[in-house]
Amino acid sequence: MEKYTRSWNFHGRTLTVESGEIAKQAGGSVFVRYNDTVVLSVATASNQAKDTDFFPLTVLYQEKMYAAGKIPGGFLRREGRPSEHATLTARLIDRPIRPLFAEGFRNEVQVVNTVFSVDPDCSSEMASLFGSSLALCISNIPFNGPVAGVQVARVNGEYVINPTVEESDAADLNLTVAGTKAAINMVEAGAKEVSEEDMLKALEIGHNAIKELCEIQEEVIAACAKEKMEVVLYEIDPRVKALVDENGAARIREAVSIKGKLERYGKIDELIEEMQAAAEALEWEDEKTREKAVKQAREYSVEIEAAEVRRLISEEKIRPDGRALDELRALDSQVDLLPRAHGSAMFTRGETQVMSVTTLGALSEAQIIDDLTTVTEKRFMHQYNFPPFSVGEVGRMGSPGRREIGHGALGERALLQVMPSVDEFPYAIRTSAEVLESNGSSSQASICAGTMSLMAAGVPIKAMVAGVAMGLITVGDTYSILTDIQGMEDHYGDMDFKVAGTRNGITALQMDIKVTGISQEIMREALAQAHKGRMEILDNMEQAISEPRPEVSKYAPKMDKLWIPVDKIRIVIGKGGEQIDKIIEECNNVKIDIDDDGRCIIYHTDRDSINKAKAIIEDLIREAKVGEIYDAKVTEVRESFAFVNLFSSTDALLHVSQVAWERVANISDALHVGDIVKVKVISIDEAGKIKVSARECLPKPEGYTEPKKTFNKQKSGERRNSKPAANVEKRVFKKKESE
């Protein structure tokens, strides 16, 4: 195939597709240039189907740090484990692509996106989604694309497609939406309490841009597409189907209506094991076929279970636990479960239960980010943990997987919209969501629990945030929208649509679907139903805690802040950090954060230690002003003047003529080292040298007149270039400084 190159103008930026020259041995490959962003997207599939009960699709997004002119951090100085951003982007690409493969397709497919160059204002994430779809479409892999995605931001009331970093930062709505020409099939959004109508408008604008990208892909497909491979779609053996239909189908359908989750799942598992044993007892041609039949007995039993769940909801409007379609499960909200935590709360919704713990720290404890984005640190962290015991299982426990990272990012996005600014609340903040029990919607429960734990910790969030997960069952032209879906409805349904927000509007959205797309009408109805559910949840949460605590916990670090003139930061820090280390040691190991702009924040659990450190710093940066009066300490006495210490390291010169209103013949008769004398600042020169007067602080004698100044003529033989007496003071100041 000859090299193919074509460029288009997409909303003010140049989008170029190259194919046929790079990575030619892959099933399909495209080199996508989006202004200065460059991504290689490749798709490859195995020739043989795998013997699995799921579609083995792997989507990767590889961040090469050289793409942004960076050398990777760490000891190895090379790319290693994917960053959180890379993991989230891989999920972002996977979710709209996965529903577009045929049911029963079992060939292993790997889609790899490698970012070679990144322009922060030209989304490498959207270029990778575009490239992934295009690589699949022109490859030999059966795929029902194309699919594409865009970012939509609302800036000053105007909707912008694929905004710049500056536009995203200024926006009150940031949306990522993906879909085909026909419908939307994936949504991610963060917003500052926007209305449902505004969100629908953004989705509509985003989908119109998606259609443009799909049309561009169609042009490339027409020129570059390979012939699709012959595949055999996975099917269950008819003998296994007949066995289960005859012996277990009716009982499985009956078990679906058991209300308790564990009881329901226990009975269904018992019946499935019975069907597997029956399949194993049949005569098969070899042991491998027997093992496959046993697996298929389970698969077909699960299909019957799913079909019955969908039938009950669609036809009879009956959910597995007996709720109405728009009914929430039982709610319970509690705070202050952990006495030593800075803030704690627990939220229970049916058989889903999450405990959230908030911890406050110094701003220097913010998370450092090392990826291709322009973000260098995160002050607020929401982390989601899902142990296997929460669903009554035994499993791997360790570092978070893709799902946990994704759910944590969704909760973080929802809560971030109501967080106070750094100036309002200069803390690093971490909420840790511990899922204790789960039967669906645990990510939204973590948002509810997180909101309450933040308030209990004294974080002045702008409003309470609650989340609810919506579901969808479609059968033919009919559909049913479900509020607060449980695990079974999520697993067997067609949509998982998570909506989080306050009483005033939406703060986060996430939608994944298993069908090819959904209409605006369904989304509008789902958002309206979610709004009703969200209000009920907020009512329950407000019974536990209605507003943020006015003070942080006694176990949390207290703080105070001040501004240090930039030219005085070095004074506070001292040579080699000696001065600041001394302050920390003297003040019971306070934590002091000083920014380059002069903002200084002092943290400690003891308020007196903070006050002491603040007083020391204020003394260090304090500047004397003409007219101010000090109780100064005499530090040195010379022939005609003395040095006095006003405060901290600030000294001043007191001339003999300024000691008293009457004439003082010898200053050493009036002042001694260690004396405390009240002085007034009378002048500060351009070099910062300070002169003070003691007599200005004494009553002026009645009828006092200033004596006339007399000048002695130079004695013969004196050098004509003798310096004036005034300069002696300058030399002494310099000597004093050097000492």
Residue 326 lies in a domain: no
Please state, in angstroms and as integers, the Cα–Cα distance from residue 470 to each residue in 7, 198, 348, 355, 496, following that order: 40, 19, 17, 22, 6
User: Cα 476 from chain centroid?
Assistant: 40
Confirm whether 426 is domain-assigned.
Answer: yes
pLDDT of 52 reads 85
CA torsion sign for 230, 223, 215, 510 is positive
For residue 107, the tally of other CB atoms under 10 A from its CB is 21
Percentage of residues in the chain having pLDDT higher than 90: 73
Q: Are 630 and 679 in contact (CB under 8 A)?
A: yes
Per-residue CA distances from 126 to 118, 123, 158 (Å): 12, 5, 21
Phi, psi dihedrals of residue 64, rounded to the nearest 5°: -95, 120
Please check whether residues 530 and 657 belong to one and the same domain: no
Q: From residue 311, how far is each of 133, 324, 474, 479 by CA, in Å? A: 33, 15, 10, 11
Distance CA 426, CA 361 (A): 9
CA of residue 682 relative to chain centroid, distance: 55
- For 70-115, the pLDDT digits (tens) are 888 878 888 888 889 999 999 999 999 999 999 999 999 999 999 9
Is pLDDT above 80 for 720?
Answer: no
Mean residue pLDDT of the chain comes to: 91
Burial-class residue 87 by CB neighbours within 10 Å (0-12, 13-18, 19+): buried
> According to the model, what pLDDT value does residue 719 have?
44
Same domain, 363 and 432: yes
- In this structure, are residues 44 and 109 in contact, taking their beta carbons and an 8 Å threshold? yes
Rounded Cα distance, 714 and 173, in Å: 82
Phi, psi of 356 (to 5 degrees): -120, 135
Domain, as residue range, for 686 = 629-713
Query: Domain check: are 217 and 259 in the same one?
Result: no
| Residue 301 covered by a domain | yes
Q: pLDDT tens digits, residue range 279-338?
A: 999 888 888 899 999 999 999 999 999 999 998 898 888 888 888 999 999 999 999 999
Whether 324 is covered by a domain: the verdict is no
DSSP 412-436: HHHHHTTPPPTTTS--EEEEEEEEE
Measured at the CA of 288, the angle between CA 285 and CA 292, to 5 degrees, comes to 100
DSSP of 231-271: -------HHHHHHHHHHTHHHHHHHTT-SSHHHHHHHHHHH
Q: Identify the three-state secondary structure at position 333.
A: strand
CATH number at residue 699: 2.40.50.140
Candidates 378, 463, 454; CA nearest to 422 is: 378
CB atoms within 10 A of CB 308: 20
Q: Quote the CA–CA distance of 126 and 117 in Å, as a whole number.
A: 14
Secondary structure E strands in 426-585: 428-437, 466-475, 478-483, 495-501, 506-513, 558-563
* Nearest Cα to Cα of residue 692 among 734, 650, 738, 638: 650
One-letter identity of residue 236: I
Q: Is pLDDT larger for residue 560 or for residue 73? A: 560
> pLDDT digits over 131-186, tens only?
999 999 999 999 998 999 999 999 999 999 999 999 999 999 999 999 999 999 99
Average pLDDT for 548-565: 93
420 φψ region: left (φ > 0), alpha (ψ -120 to 50), beta (else): beta
d(CA 138, CA 144): 11
Write out the two tokens for 152: 């939509």
Residue by residue, DSSP assigns 706-730 as PPPP--PPPPTTS-TTPPPHHHHHH
| Residue that terminates a domain, selected from 544, 577, 599 | 544
In a domain, 606, yes or no: yes
pLDDT of residue 527: 95
pLDDT digits (tens, 9 = 90+) for 359-385: 999 998 888 888 888 888 899 999 999
What Cα–Cα distance (Å) separates residue 339 from each residue in 335, 347, 355, 411? 10, 17, 14, 24
Q: Tell me, what CATH number does 406's domain have?
A: 3.30.230.70
Q: What is the CATH number of the domain that holds 570?
A: 3.30.1370.10
Q: What is the mean pLDDT of residues 501-528?
A: 91
CB-based contact 453:343 (threshold 8 Å): yes
Domain count for the chain:
5
pLDDT band at 709 (very low <50, low <70, confident <90, very high): low
Residue 722 lies in a domain: no
Using CA atoms in the order 416, 420, 421, 424, what is the torsion angle rounded to 10 degrees? -170
Which of 224, 252, 278 is the last residue in one of the domains? 224
Question: Quick check: is 325 in a domain?
Answer: no
The answer to whether residues 354 and 433 touch, using CB atoms and an 8 Å cutoff, is: yes
Q: Please provide the DSSP assignment of 662-692 as one string.
A: S--S-HHHH--TT-EEEEEEEEE-TT--EEE
Q: Per-residue pLDDT for 537 more than 60?
A: yes
Name the more confident of 715 and 92: 92
Q: Quick one: what percent of the chain has pLDDT higher than 70? A: 95
User: In which element (H, E) is residue 128 found?
Assistant: helix 124-138
Residue 665: band (very low, low, confident or very high) from pLDDT cuts 50, 70, 90: confident
> Residue 513 has what pLDDT?
86
Q: Which residues pair with 509 in a beta bridge?
A: 189, 499
Label residue 710 by pLDDT band (50, 70, 90): low
In this structure, the answer to whether residues 488 and 345 fall within a common structural domain is yes
Nearest to 161 by CA among 287, 62, 13: 13
Once rounded to an integer, what is the mean pLDDT over residues 675-692? 92
Q: Specify the pLDDT at position 399.
A: 84
Backbone angles phi, psi at 305, to 5 degrees: -60, -45
Does residue 117 form part of some domain? yes
Residues 159 and 243 in one domain: no
Separation between Cα atoms, residue 162 and residue 150, nearest integer Å: 6
Q: What is the predicted pLDDT for the residue at 712? A: 54
* Residue 609 in this model has a pLDDT that exceeds 90: yes
Residues 450 and 304 placed together within one structural domain of the fold: no
Tokens of 578: 């000696």
- For residue 657, pLDDT over 50 is answered with yes
If asked whether residues 603 and 697 sit together in one domain, one would say no
Report which DSSP code applies to 597. Answer: T
Tell whether the model's pLDDT for residue 3 goes beyond 70: yes
Q: Which two tokens stand for residue 522?
A: 């369904």
Domain match, 400 and 522 both: yes
Distances (CA, A) of 179 to 96, 196, 204, 241, 475: 7, 20, 11, 35, 21
Q: Looking at the structure, do residues 360 and 336 belong to the same domain, yes or no?
A: yes
Output 509 or 478, whichever has higher pLDDT: 509
User: Which amino acid is present at 561?
Assistant: K
> Same structural domain for residues 387 and 407?
yes
Looking at the fold, whether 134 and 61 belong to one and the same domain comes out as yes
SS3 658: helix
Among 486, 514, 544, identify where a domain stops.
544
Give me the sign of the Cα torsion angle 330, 502, 408, 204. Answer: positive
Q: 420: buried, middle or exposed (CB in 10 Å: 19+, 13-18, 0-12)? A: middle
Which of 258-267, 644-653, 697-706 shows the highest mean pLDDT?
Answer: 644-653
Element holding 534 (H helix, E strand): helix 520-544
Cα–Cα–Cα angle for 145, 148, 149, rounded to 5 degrees: 155
Cβ–Cβ < 8 Å for 57, 98: yes
Give burial (CB, 10 Å; 0-12/13-18/19+) of 172: middle
Tell which wins on pLDDT, 112 or 477.
112
CA distance 364 to 490: 40
CA 560, 565, 571, 575 dihedral sign is positive
Q: Which residues of 452-478 are buried (b: 16+ CB within 10 A; e: fewer)?
A: bbbbbbbbebeebbbbbbbbbbbeeee
CA distance 411 to 433: 9
Report in angstroms the alpha-carbon separations of 185 from 162, 177, 213, 560.
18, 8, 15, 48
In 3D, which of 470, 395, 408 has the Cα closest to residue 434?
Answer: 408
Q: Is 383 helix (H, G, I), strand (E, B) or coil?
A: strand
Query: DSSP character for 446?
Result: H
Residue 481 CB coordination number (10 Å): 21
pLDDT, tens digit, 9 for 90 and up, residues 400-456: 888 999 999 999 999 999 999 999 999 999 999 999 999 989 999 999 999 999 999
In angstroms, the CA 657 to CA 533 distance is 83
Q: Kindly report the pTM of this predicted structure.
A: 0.83
348, 252, 229: which is closest to 308 by C-alpha?
A: 252
> What is the structure's pLDDT at 465?
98
Q: Are residues 267 and 164 in the same domain?
A: no
